[in-house]
Structure formats: C-alpha cells, structure tokens
Amino acid sequence: MLPMSTLLANLDAVDRQYWLSNCEGFRVRCGTRHLGIVEFVRHGSDPFLPDTIHICAGITLMREIAVPVGDVEGLDPRRRTIWVRPHEPAGASARHRIAAWMARVGTLARTPQRTTPRGAR
C-alpha cells in the first residue's frame, strides 16, 4: 500500500475533482478502519466538485453518514477506496459526561461501611 502523501501527490486537482464526483461504490476508510461504502455524492453550488459524500455505514449498511469533501484525505481510484480524516462522534462527549456523572452518583449513593470495634456485634 502506498503512503497517503504519495496517493495525494499522484492525483492533480482535476483528477481529484473527477474521482470525488464519481466515487459511488467506493469503500471509505478512516486509517485502518472500514467505515462503509459511498452511496451517493451531493453537489452544491459547484457542479464539478461535490459538497458532501454520503456513506452507508454500520454492520448492515443502514446508517447514513454525510462526510464533507474537505475531510477526504486520500483517494485511490484503482482500489476504489477513499480515506477520510478521523472525527470524534458528536455523541461521544455527551456519553463521557453521562458516564462521569453516573460514576459520581454511584460513589455518592453508596453508604460507607460502618466499622465496629472487635468483638462487638
């Protein structure tokens, strides 16, 4: 596998625009992790460069993720693969806050063990 810098250097701006506009069916990866498959591309004001790439993700490919074109790090037309920049999911910070809150509540809710002197019941 070629390094990402080599893949980007081999594609000039016109080729990149072409392949981003015609990448339906490409696999989408984030580092070594497989995210899904490009379902469709949505164009905005520029008909030659898409705004977002929509990915079918998840085990059953039922979840749709919209990835801005600016997050595309690499593109390999021969392998039909796109690499995107990693992002923390929007709900992750909320999940962490809830987990921290639950841990605090759990420690506050526990009553400390009462120590009794030896021999006392």
> Is 90 a domain residue?
yes
pLDDT on residue 114? 59
pLDDT on residue 90? 55
CATH code of the domain containing 92 = 2.30.30.240
> Is 69 a domain residue?
yes
Model confidence pLDDT, tens digit, residues 10-47: 567 778 888 999 999 999 998 888 989 999 999 988 88
> Is 49 a domain residue?
yes
Interatomic CA distance for residues 42 and 88, integer angstroms: 23
pLDDT on residue 28? 93
| H or E element, residue 52 | strand 50-57
* pTM as predicted: 0.61
> Is 120 a domain residue?
no
What value does the mean pLDDT of the chain take? 78
User: CA angle at residue 23 from 48 to 47, to 5 degrees?
Assistant: 15
Interatomic CA distance for residues 34 and 22, integer angstroms: 20
**pLDDT beyond 70 at 75:** yes
Domain range for residue 16?
4-109
Among residues 13, 57, 12, the alpha carbon closest in space to that of 33 is found at: 57
- Domain count of the chain? 1
> Is 41 a domain residue?
yes
pLDDT on residue 94? 66
